[in-house]
Structure 1
Amino acid sequence: MTAAAYSVDVRRMEAFSAVELYALLKLRVDVFVVEQACAYQELDGKDADALHLRLLIDGETAAYARLLKPEDDFPRIGRVIVAPAHRGSGLGGVLMRAAIDACGAHFPGQPIALSAQSHLEPFYRSLGFVPTSAEYVEDGIPHVDMVRPAEGQERAS
């Protein structure tokens, strides 16, 4: 994937048109509820306060992540998706680097947290995240909490 092939778009929910927001939420439901056969509250009330990061290819969302501002601890990256048509292209790494950069810009000097599906732990480790919990099951899928230290802090390996 070359840099010219995609663009990064970060904005709040109210900045999307109805058509853009519908497409974004449909992608999330298609992957997290339908594809993963996981009945859970996808629309969880957190979208209005979040930043929504999209990687666009030819104007369409190829990958997405939701960035939540710190509440009790650190900013969080969640709802990480690469659209099925773009999987295997390396776009997951591009998406996560863009999400890390966006967290650094909006929440400077803070560690970044996420809840990783356990099978993706090696991928997130490669981006500097370290496990902070034992494995647990959320919505029928094994997960592990992970944190990426703030820039300038030494990372554990």
Structure 2
Amino acid sequence: MEITTKSFEELSTKELYQILQLRSEVFVVEQDCVYQDVDGKDEKALHVMGIKNENVVAYTRMFGPGDYFKNPSIGRVVVAKEERKYGYGKIIMQASIDELGKRFPKNTIELSAQTYLLKFYNGLGFVVQGEEYLEDGIPHVRMVKN
């Protein structure tokens, strides 16, 4: 899997289509959650794509301080179902953490994590901050990494 990071303006139509298709497959269909994925925030985000055989199979979007949360943040972390056995979630997250570290050194990184993935994010150095809450009907917690 090859990792690439692009601004919204740099994304090709094909890449954008594949990103939105992957997010819809996992967050809407697989997780059976009806919500507005196209939320108007993609234009501010940096898009980290894991590409395999010319297809986006893993993805995150990142924001600078104040663009989404107070701190730099990572969201929409997703890996295609058939690709999860290869550890691509950890790879795409580490690439995102590294990229934010380069762009915003010495900043805390923040995310809103689905509660069932706490162990995954703990393994990447994130810790829970605050109480569990519902986001689009799914339990989440705020997590930070210093």
Counterpart of 1:53 in structure 2 is: 48
1:39 and 2:34 matched: yes
Superposed displacement of residue 7, structure 1? 1.2
CA distance in 2, matches of 1:81, 1:20: 15
SS of corresponding position for 1:78: strand
Q: Say yes or no: does 1:16 pair with 2:11.
A: yes
CA contact (8 A) 2:22 2:57 kept: no
Extract unaligned runs of 5+ from structure 1. Answer: 1-5, 150-157
Bigger Rg, which one: 1
Alignment identity in percent? 47
- Within a 5 Å distance, the mapping from 1:1-157 to structure 2 comes to 6-71=1-66, 73-149=70-146
Q: How many angstroms does 1:88 deviate by?
A: 2.0
For 1:153, the equivalent position in structure 2 comes to none
Deviations 1:75-119, CA, capped at 9 Å, x for gaps = 110000011120121111111111100111121211100011101
TM-score by length of 2: 0.94
Q: Which runs of 5+ in 2 are unaligned?
A: none
Shift of 1:69: 1.3
What do residues 27-80 of structure 1 show as CA deviations (whole Å, max 9, x unaligned)? 111111121111111011110010000111122112000001111520110000
Between the aligned partners of 1:96 and 1:36, the Cα distance in structure 2 is 20
Number of residue equivalences? 144
Runs of 4+ in 1 over 4 A off after TM superposition: none
TM-score by length of 1: 0.88
> Please, what is the CA RMSD of the aligned residues?
1.0
